[in-house]
C-alpha cells in the first residue's frame, strides 16, 4: 500500500513541478493543471474577440496564454500599438506566418494569405498592378451596380412590401459573395435572391472558414488525427475543399478555353474580371492552374468575409447613431442633387442611393462622399473585419513592452485603435 502511495505522491509532485516550470510571468488567465488556460476560452467562445479584448486590456495590453499541456498552444497576446508597430513595420522581416499557420490555413494553398518573404512580395506586386488596370476597375463598377439594381434593392423592396424580417448579415454575406465571385472569376453563383437559396459552393466556403476556426481552438495533434481518420470537422473540411476546388478548376479551364479564342485587342480593351486580367497579364500563361486557383481562392475568401463584416457593423452602428445617418443622407443629397452638372440626381423624398435615371452611383462619384468615407473608416476602427493576426518570430526578440517570446499573436481589437 505504501508503495502505491509513494508512486501517486511522486506523480503528483512531478505534475506540480511541471506546472510551476511552465507558469507564465505575465499570465492572461488562470493556468489550470493539464488543461492550461483553455477552459475560460471555451466558456467564452461565443464572444471570443470581446473576451480577449477585455482580458488583454486588464493586463496592460500584453500577456501570455498557455494551452493544454503538451498541446503546443502557447502564445503571447498583445493589443499594444507599439508592439504591433514593431512587428509589422520596424522589424517586419523577423515576423512571419510560419509553417504552423500554413498548416491551419491549408485550403489557401500558396496564396497571399499564407505567403511569406519573396512569394508574398511577388503576389502583392501582382495584386497592386491588377488593381490599377482600367478594364478591371470598369468591370468592378459595372458588376456592383448591376447586382445592387437587379438583386439587392428588389429584395429589400420585397421585404418591405411583405413585412418580412431579413437577416442583414446573411443578406450582405450573399451580396458580397456574389460580387466577389463575379469580379474575381466572372461567374455569378446567384446566392442573393428572394428565396435565399442554398448554393453548394457558398456553403462549402462557410464550412471551410468554420473548420479553420475550429483548428485554432483544439491542439494541433487533435485536428491532425481527425484529418487522418477523416472524422468530425476535418471530414467536412475535406468535402468542402473538394467542392470548392472542383468549381474553381472548372472555371479556370473554361476561362483558358475562352481566352484562346479571343484576339489580343479584345482581351486588352473589354472590361474583364480579375481572373481574366491575371491570365492575360503578368506572364499569365506561365502561371499553372494551381497558382491561379490559390490566387482566386485567397481573394474570394478575403473579399467575402471582410466586406460583409464591415457593412454589417456599419449599418448596425447607423441604427445606434441616427445623427450620423442623417448627416450621411444629407451629404448624398448635397452631392447628387437635382439639376447637377451630369443632368441627373434625385428628389428630396427619393431614396438617395438611387438617381432619377435609376442608376446606382459609381466609384468615381462616391469619392465625393467624404463623411460617408469617414463613417466607414470609423466602423473599421471599432469592428475590424480581421480582428486577429498570428505571427511567429524568426529570431528571439524583445518587444517595446519588454516581453520576449518566439511566437506571437496580436489582437487588432477595437481597443488597439483607441
Instruction: Please report, in tens digits, the pLDDT of each residue of the chain (418 residues total).
Output: 655 556 665 555 555 444 444 555 678 888 888 888 888 988 898 888 889 888 988 888 888 888 887 777 788 888 888 998 898 888 888 888 888 888 899 999 888 888 888 888 888 888 888 888 888 888 888 888 899 999 999 999 999 898 888 899 999 999 999 999 998 888 889 999 888 888 899 899 999 989 998 888 788 888 999 999 999 999 999 999 999 999 999 988 888 888 777 766 666 666 688 888 888 775 555 678 898 899 889 988 888 888 899 999 999 999 999 999 999 999 988 888 754 444 444 555 555 444 434 556 677 778 889 999 999 999 998 888 888 888 888 888 888 888 876 556 655 544 443 3
Helix, strand, coil share of the chain (percent; to 5): 60, 10, 30
Do 352 and 374 lie in a common domain? yes
User: Is position 131 within any domain?
Assistant: yes
Q: 101 in a domain, yes or no?
A: yes
Place of cell 512587428: 87
Half-sphere exposure of 328 (CA within 13 A, CB side): 18
Domain around 356: 321-386
Q: What is the pLDDT of residue 328?
A: 94
Could you tell me which of 371, 384, 391 has the C-alpha nearest to residue 413? Answer: 384
Instruction: Examine the domain organization and report whether 215 and 272 are in the same domain.
Output: yes
Residues 365 and 270 both lie in one domain: no
Q: Are residues 399 and 363 in the same domain?
A: no
Residue 358 lies in a domain: yes
Same domain for 177 and 204?
Answer: yes
Q: What are phi and psi of 346, to 5 degrees?
A: -150, 160
Q: What is the pLDDT of residue 186?
A: 87
Q: Are residues 236 and 282 in the same domain?
A: yes
Do 236 and 92 share a structural domain? no
Q: What is the pLDDT of residue 343?
A: 44
What is the pLDDT, as a whole number, of residue 342? Answer: 44
* 3-state secondary structure (DSSP) of residue 274: helix
Question: What is the residue whose three cell numbers read 511541471?
Answer: 18
Grid cell for residue 108: 489557401
11 domain-assigned: no
Domain-terminating residue out of 259, 281, 307: 307
User: Could you give the residue ranges of the DSSP H alpha helices within 218-231?
Assistant: 220-229
Same domain, 213 and 294: yes
Q: How far is CA 186 from the centre of its chain?
A: 21
Residues contacting 181, CB < 8 A, separation 6+:
187, 188, 189, 300
213: its cell numbers:
476556426
Identify the DSSP state of 288.
Answer: -
- SS3 sequence, 358-394? CCECCHHHHCCCHHHHHHHHHHHHHCCCCCEEEEEEE
pTM of the model: 0.80
Domain match, 239 and 255 both: yes
Domain boundary among 246, 276, 307: 307
Considering the domain architecture, whether residues 234 and 340 belong to the same structural domain is answered as no
CA proximity to 373, closest of 303, 310, 299? 310
**Number of structural domains the chain divides into:** 3
Alpha-carbon gap, residue 111 to 97, rounded angstroms: 12
Last residue of a domain, one of 253, 278, 307: 307
Number of Cβ within 10 Å of residue 48's Cβ equals 16
Count CB neighbours of 225 within 10 A: 14
SS3 175: helix
Q: What is the CA radius of gyration of the chain?
A: 25
Same-domain check for residues 98 and 80: yes
312: in domain = no
We report the CATH number of the domain holding residue 269 as: 1.10.630.10
Same domain, 357 and 344: yes
* 314 belongs to a structural domain: no
Assign 14 to helix, strand or coil: helix
Q: Rounded to the nearest 5°, which phi and psi values hold at 32?
A: -80, 150
Q: Are 413 and 53 in contact (CB under 8 A)?
A: yes
Could you tell me if residue 114 is inside a domain? no
Q: Does 10 fall in a domain?
A: no
Amino acid at each position: 500500500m505504501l508503495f502505491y502511495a509513494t508512486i501517486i505522491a511522486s506523480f503528483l509532485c512531478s505534475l506540480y513541478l511541471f506546472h510551476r516550470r511552465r507558469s507564465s510571468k505575465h499570465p492572461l488567465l488562470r493556468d489550470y493543471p493539464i488543461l492550461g488556460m483553455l477552459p475560460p476560452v471555451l466558456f467564452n467562445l461565443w464572444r471570443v474577440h470581446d473576451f480577449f479584448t477585455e482580458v488583454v486590456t486588464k493586463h496592460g495590453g500584453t500577456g501570455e496564454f498557455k494551452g493544454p499541456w503538451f498541446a503546443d498552444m502557447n502564445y503571447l497576446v498583445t493589443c499594444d500599438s507599439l508592439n504591433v508597430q514593431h512587428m509589422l513595420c520596424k522589424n517586419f522581416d523577423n515576423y512571419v506566418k510560419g509553417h504552423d499557420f500554413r498548416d491551419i490555413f491549408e485550403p489557401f494553398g500558396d496564396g497571399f494569405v499564407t505567403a511569406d518573404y519573396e512569394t508574398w512580395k511577388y503576389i502583392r506586386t501582382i495584386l497592386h498592378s491588377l488593381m490599377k488596370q482600367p478594364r478591371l476597375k470598369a468591370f468592378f463598377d459595372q458588376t456592383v451596380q448591376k447586382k445592387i439594381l437587379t438583386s439587392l434593392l428588389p429584395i429589400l423592396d420585397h421585404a418591405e412590401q411583405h413585412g418580412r424580417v431579413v437577416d442583414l448579415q446573411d443578406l450582405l454575406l450573399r451580396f458580397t459573395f456574389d460580387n466577389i465571385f463575379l469580379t474575381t472569376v466572372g461567374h455569378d453563383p446567384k446566392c442573393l435572391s428572394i428565396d435565399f437559396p442554398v448554393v453548394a459552393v457558398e456553403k462549402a466556403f462557410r464550412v471551410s472558414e468554420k473548420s479553420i476556426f475550429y483548428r485554432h481552438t483544439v491542439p494541433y495533434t487533435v485536428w491532425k488525427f481527425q484529418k487522418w481518420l477523416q472524422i468530425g470537422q476535418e471530414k467536412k473540411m475535406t468535402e468542402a475543399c473538394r467542392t470548392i476546388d472542383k468549381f474553381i478548376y472548372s472555371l479556370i479551364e473554361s476561362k483558358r478555353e475562352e481566352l484562346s479564342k479571343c484576339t489580343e485587342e479584345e482581351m486588352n480593351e473589354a472590361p474583364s474580371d480579375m481572373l481574366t486580367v491575371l491570365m492575360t497579364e503578368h506572364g499569365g500563361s506561365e502561371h499553372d492552374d494551381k497558382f491561379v486557383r490559390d490566387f482566386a481562392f485567397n481573394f474570394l475568401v478575403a473579399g467575402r468575409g471582410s466586406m460583409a463584416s464591415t457593412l454589417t457593423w456599419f449599418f448596425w452602428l447607423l441604427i445606434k447613431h441616427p445623427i450620423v445617418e442623417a448627416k450621411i443622407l444629407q451629404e448624398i443629397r448635397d452631392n447628387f442633387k437635382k439639376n447637377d452638372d451630369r443632368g441627373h440626381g434625385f428628389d428630396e423624398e427619393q431614396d438617395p442611393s438611387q438617381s432619377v435615371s435609376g442608376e446606382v452611383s459609381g466609384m468615381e462619384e462616391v469619392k465625393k462622399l467624404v463623411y460617408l468615407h469617414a463613417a466607414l473608416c470609423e466602423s473599421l476602427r471599432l469592428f475590424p473585419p480581421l480582428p486577429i493576426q498570428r505571427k511567429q518570430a524568426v529570431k528571439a526578440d524583445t518587444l517595446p513592452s519588454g516581453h520576449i517570446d518566439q511566437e506571437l499573436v496580436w489582437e487588432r481589437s477595437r481597443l488597439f485603435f483607441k
